[in-house]
Chains A and B, each alone.
Chain A
Amino acid sequence: MSDFDKFLMAQVGFIAALILSPLIPGIINRTKAVFAGRQGPPLLQLYYDLFKLLRKGAVYSNTTTWVFRAAPIVSLSAVIGVLMLIPCTGATPALISFQGDIIFFAYLFGISRFFTVTAALDTGSAFEGMGASREVLYAALAEPAFLIALSSLACLNNQISITGIFIASTANPFANIAVILLVAVTLTIVLLTENCRVPADDPNTHLELTMIHEVMVLDYGGSDLAYILYGSALKLWAFASILVAIVLPARTGSLFLDSAVFVGGIFIVAVIVGVIESTMARFRLDKIPKMLIAAAALSATALLLTITRG
């Protein structure tokens, strides 16, 4: 494959991610509907919602400043930046890739969160302040778990870029089953927490006192809300793709088949999230830090195993 072909592939993959990611919430909701014995919303519901919201105007509270208006765009841009770092299959590189981009990767999410939280505080609402405080607490605890998990992958594959990790883990799948398993569990917990899914948060709740992420975006409407909803779908895609890259490293030789497995894997992750949400209740808030610390401990074990492997 020539460099130009690879670049073209990366572009196609990036655009595919942008187009396909709103399917993930659709799949999660359909899975939940099956468990609940309901018909559920259409698979494409988020697309309809996004188009509807983009046509709408926005209302801004008088207490808010430019921070509130900038946040949805900044946070969406940061997540799009994250997607540029992720290869679309295990075989081709990402649109952008450089040595050490795993740190950049993790902190692009940080930028997105920083703006969401600041905007929530900007509204001056008691609820949004509470949501922001919770979000920051859990993010602070999820971050070490996530970074240590990425470091174990980096050590395992001797690569410090996302593309490098992807390519290495498909070239040499399941280099160390124990490490892969531990990292996969950690990443799943971080995925659920970071994307405000059950058991950490409840994306469906309308109760402002219990919400974490949802409460921070209560004051948004119209296109701003569309950016936020789209951003969270992209974020789910990003987390799911790392998980798929290490657990489902397909290298059949056929680019088409590899991509199909990759995308299929992401949809399977969505189904798993739906199953988790259907079969368990949300934790008490004071239990979530314990869950995240346990996740950090698991990833630390994975890191130890990789370092001492010899």
Chain B
Amino acid sequence: MNISPYISVFNGETVKLENVPVLDFEEFRETLLSLNGKNGRLSSLFGMPVEYNMTRIFAIIAKDRLGNLCILSTEVGDSYKSLTPDCPQAHWFEREIAEQWGIVPEGHPWLKPIRFHKPYSEDRDAWKRKEDEEILPCVTDYYKVDGEEIHEVAVGPVHAGIIEPGHFRFQCHGETVFNLEISLGYQHRGIERKLVGAPDGKTIHYMETAAGDTSIGHATAYCEALESLAKCNVPLRAQAIRGILLELERLANHAGDLGALAGDVAYLPTSSFCGRIRGDYLNITALICGNRFGRNVIRPGGVMFDIDNEMKAEILKRLDAAFKDTENAVDLLWDNPSVQGRFEECGKLSRELCTKIGTVGPAARACGVEQDVRFDLPSGIFRFAQISVSTYHTGDVFSRAFVRMMEIRNSVKFIREQLANLPEGKIMEPCGKASADSLTVTLAEGWRGEICHTAITDSKGHFEHYKIVDPSFHNWFALANVLKNEQIYNFPLCNKSFNLSYCGHDL
């Protein structure tokens, strides 16, 4: 007997699809809003076609305090009443559903495509575009402010630096930004559609390149999902090595970000040192697996490369040296008044807005929100070795930089502990076939924030649907909000303090 309108699971727990209740839309809406109101975060919201003209909408809500996930679903036809006005966290998810399946969320305040591709459903289009109409990325109407002294600044998709493509529209009054609208989609590769019918030989490579700088994060989330579906017990040693790799990825990226933040305010020493130190961390990853970005190391069932005693000593030696350099380089940042003058009070995100729009990762922790998947919803090695949550309360660029440095300290401590107590045993357990008609949700705390993968299998154990939510998907909107009434020259600094992924968003 199941009277609950939703099903509660742990991170990485597999449930039979038939056990996920299908509510009628009104009840779904009510349940989602009430769960969302009580410290529940919308981790994922997506549609899966079930039969002709019907789409099943799944919502995954993370209850950080309770350490579990609530899954609920409903079925909708051509349209439904939008959730966004009551739950702003659904904003981009609903636009995504509209774009993919042609379902109109009625009353959505800003219904526009987010990736600019043809709808997956063949005969439905939320914007009534013709079938043969060419869809060009970011060719759309933008929010406009009118007035004599208003000017519009369009940045991108081709940027001055070597970064990914994205389009930014600023409505400015002099140097002050009234509104920033971010439009992405240039990096859309259609990964999720390619995963239907998987897993196959290519799947893991799609995961490792979903967001190139989060290879280990996405690969971990995927492997944990597949292992849970296949009831594979990953050896403890492999879990520890995955944890070490995940933290190394965090170290490299955080160190790189701190250097880049210094570079954006033209503070040379930290900028130059951190660029090199990032390479040192990447090289430790390469020492373990031969690839600086941790490709080809995490596989369903375990890891491909072991850490022997000799390597352990070498990692510790390099880690100590790199960490010492990081502390010295970053201390220069905190000690320099001209740097602090730029960081403090720049790009402020209030705690209230942060939780309202569902910001994740260091950006949320920099607003004082205690939220970290490794702590709240642990999986893998993090169930046994806890990492403390690093928060700071000011919500500005300084806060986001400071949280990164605290996380660097915690990650180094974690890696040292893990290396000292590396469990004995195998590093790989053969991973069998995924169980049929099941659903599993895995969350991992990548360096940028919460990664959420949802896998749904069909009657043969193949993926009927696979949904990836990169932390960037939550956080781009936070960046756009931070710029309100900010000075336009501070945009690069704010942008760097979030350092979001374009390809992780566009998939």
Residues of A within 8 A of B (CB): 32, 35-38, 126-127, 129-130, 133, 198-199, 202, 204-210, 277-287
Contact = CB atoms under 8 A, between A and B. Distances in A.
Nearest to A282: B266
B266 A209 contact: no
B62 to A, nearest CB: 35
Nearest to B488: A209
A210 B153 CA distance: 13
Contact of A202 (B266, B339, B341): B266
Contacts of B82: none
B151 A129 contact: yes
Given A129-B151, A284-B341, A287-B341, A205 B266 contact: yes
Contacts of A210: 264, 489, 491-493
Interface string B229-270: 000000000000000000000000000000000101111110
23 contacts: A32-B268, A36-B271, A36-B273, A126-B151, A126-B152, A126-B153, A129-B151, A198-B266, A199-B266, A202-B266, A205-B266, A207-B160, A207-B161, A210-B492, A277-B268, A278-B269, A279-B336, A280-B336, A281-B339, A282-B265, A282-B266, A282-B267, A283-B338
A42 B272 CA distance: 18
Nearest to B346: A284
A36 B338 contact: no
A203 to B, nearest CB: 9
B331 interface: no
A127 B336 CA distance: 30
A288 B269 CA distance: 22
Given A37-B276, A278-B269, A283-B341, 18 more contacts: A37-B272, A37-B273, A126-B153, A198-B266, A199-B266, A206-B160, A207-B161, A208-B155, A209-B488, A210-B491, A277-B268, A280-B267, A281-B265, A281-B266, A281-B336, A282-B266, A284-B490, A285-B487
Interface in B143-167: 151-155, 160-161
A166 B273 CA distance: 43
Nearest to A33: B272
Contacts of A202: 266
B320 interface: no
A30 to B, nearest CB: 13
B131 interface: no
B189 interface: no
B419 to A, nearest CB: 29
Contacts, number: 86
Nearest to B496: A207
CB-based closest 5 A-B pairs: A36-B272, A202-B266, A281-B267, A282-B266, A281-B265
B175 interface: yes
A51 to B, nearest CB: 25
A287 B269 CA distance: 22
Nearest to A206: B160
Given A126-B154, A208-B155, A281 B487 contact: no
A40 to B, nearest CB: 10
B342 interface: yes
A209 B155 contact: yes
Contacts of B273: 36-37
A284 B342 CA distance: 6
A208 B491 CA distance: 10
A207 B492 CA distance: 7
A36 B153 contact: no
A280 B270 CA distance: 11
A202 B263 CA distance: 10
Nearest to B265: A281
Contacts of B268: 32, 35-36, 277-278
B207 to A, nearest CB: 32
A280 B272 CA distance: 14
Contacts of B153: 126-127, 130, 209
A209 B156 CA distance: 11
A229 B221 CA distance: 51
Given A126-B153, A129-B151, A207-B160, A277 B266 contact: yes
A198 B336 CA distance: 15
A32 B266 CA distance: 11
B176 to A, nearest CB: 10
A284 to B, nearest CB: 6
A284 B487 contact: yes
A38 B276 CA distance: 10
Nearest to B276: A37
Contacts of A37: 272-273, 276
A205 B272 CA distance: 14
B316 to A, nearest CB: 24
Residue in B262, B268, B487 with the greatest tally of chain A CB atoms within 10 Å: B268
Given A126-B151, A206-B160, A209-B492, A35 B269 contact: yes
B327 to A, nearest CB: 16
Residue in A32, A199, A210, A278 with the greatest tally of chain B CB atoms within 10 Å: A210
B337 to A, nearest CB: 9
A272 to B, nearest CB: 15
A282 B342 contact: yes
Contacts of B342: 281-284
A286 B487 contact: yes
B63 to A, nearest CB: 40
A197 to B, nearest CB: 10
A210 B269 CA distance: 20
A295 B147 CA distance: 36
Contact of B341 (A32, A133, A205, A281): A281
A130 B151 CA distance: 10
Contacts of A286: 175, 487
Contacts of A198: 266
Contacts of A32: 268
Nearest to A38: B272
Contacts of A283: 338, 341-342
A123 B491 CA distance: 23
B352 to A, nearest CB: 26
Contacts of B272: 36-38
B489 A209 contact: yes
Contacts of A206: 160-161
A285 B175 contact: yes
Given A130-B488, A280-B338, A36 B151 contact: no
A209 B490 CA distance: 8
A185 to B, nearest CB: 17
Contact of A209 (B151, B267, B276, B491): B491
A206 B175 CA distance: 19
Contacts of A126: 151-154
